Chain A
Amino acid sequence: MPETRVLFRDIDAPGLATIQGYRDRGGYGALKRALHELEPDELLSSLEDSGLRGRGGAGFSMGKKGSFLPRGEMEKYLCCNADESEPGAFKDRELMQKNPHQLIEGCAIASLAVGATYAFVFIRGEYWEIADILDRAVGEAYDAGYLGADILDTGVRVELIVHRGAGAYICGEETALLDALEGKRGNPRLKPPFPAIQGLYGGPTLINNVETLSNVPHIVNNGADWFKGFGSEQSTGTKVVSVSGCVQRPGNYEIELGIPSREIIYGLAGGPPKGRRVKAWFPGGSSAPVLTEADLDLPYTFEDLAKAGSMLGSGSIIVADDTISIPELALRTARFYHHESCGKCTPCREGTNWTTKMLDRVVRGEATPMDLEIIAGVQEKIIGHCLCVLGDSMAMPVGSMVAKFRDEFEATIEAAREAGHGALDHSPLDRPLTTGAQAA
């Protein structure tokens, strides 16, 4: 099955990143239409009708979120979450790098729809090159009058500011992003109040992912019904999927939601190297519970993956083939979240710390099968008890790995025990994970 390119149309065309190149392909037409032909309410309802769900991870309807913002005269804000820090996700990076104006247009239209005068793009600190591209594009848009105090001479004001993060995964959490944007320590806030009611600087704030906002111009141009024509009933549109791990052709692929997952992993990304089999795969970034080979025929939609006990998340597929040690993968995953936990709430701070220490022992060969019980128990005690979803993001994949690959964990412990306790005198994290590519 081929890709369905909407956001990625002409993505590799030279000059698309410039305003001229974007306009040559009909760019900023949607903004003009939104300004001249549509009322904010119409914009919002067409976004809601389109069924566009957030592409950042939670998958909440964008139009519905926009409609939660109170009406009336007050300072409202739009935040674009470009803090793409999830291991395995790199779709926003390509979208911003190669087609920044699509995002800028999306931000401008979304600002019109909710009545925000200030839009912020909170971009991950490590994306400094892309931030420069974005800054250049924003400059072009200002010069061309698509942004500023009086956009396209309509008297409407939309300012767009690109803000570079300082390198913390937690700042991808919407409320932590707001705190970081306000200049504070990036810690999640208590919800409620939700950002739509009380967000940035206490004002109503709409926060959406880069890909979500990039979809907006296309919906305005082609209508909600056109958008609904793609995908399944509950998962409309196309999705840029980042495929990585043990596949022959890793990269971003834009697909229509609802195609079988096998099509993405084997069809588009080429599957694991010859002679290997898929052992486990994360369907939606490293925070999604892992699925196994048996789940490969699941349609790639929000609802089907949820039914299978996982989630589509940010749409980042990570494939682990049969050369990968699952306990090591679990340790690596836990280690990441342990490092990135902000420390505000207890279960996440202590749970990620404890899990990492235990998994480290498992891989070192200093554990007993009883430790697996404790690991599984600790994950259960993290899920649903945290302030934000970071704790769950570790507990879900680690918990699913222990549950689905229990045999392998036990075999690892047994093998290490036979080789003598503490066979590894260094941390397993000091060396790279065995990957298919290296083995081949």
Chain B
Amino acid sequence: MNEEFPYLKDAEEVVTVQRGPEPGGAKGAYRAFGETLRGLRTTMARLIEGPMTIQYPEEKTPVYPRFRGRHKLHRFEDTGLEKCVGCSLCAAACPADCIRVVAAENDPDDRVSPGERYAAVYEINLARCIFCGYCEVACPFDAITMGHEYELADYNRGDLIFTKEMLLAEPVERTPLRREGE
């Protein structure tokens, strides 16, 4: 039992807070100026570094490798076939309901994807997308991943519906990646 705090079962639960010195005296003066100066140390140090402003859009913020930007659809590198089979699991996982997939059957003589089925229509409405990345997680074939591109503004809402061809194409703008230690 703690005498000071009888309602506490265990003295270990007591956290003692170190209070600052009372005003007045040397300690008070240190508190007024010394600590303030100490707090400004970081600010002063940055003064000599020069401005850190990034001149967007001339300059771009580098993003982390796991940054979730615009989606990309992938092809197999060897065969060039689309990885997507049109299973619609991404559409099922999407909390914003912004993916629409219409599947179709592959023609064995003119394949689009390796299996029986491929996505005839694959659309993502990026105006609705919340970039949560669930589609990427749901995909059983790693056919869809989140890219790094984040410059998606457009003049027209309709243009924000990305079709399969747009998603399969390599993005023109490359966003710089943040390097180790940056």
Q: Indicate if A touches B (C-beta under 8 A).
A: no
Query: Interface on A for B, CB 8 Å cutoff?
Result: none
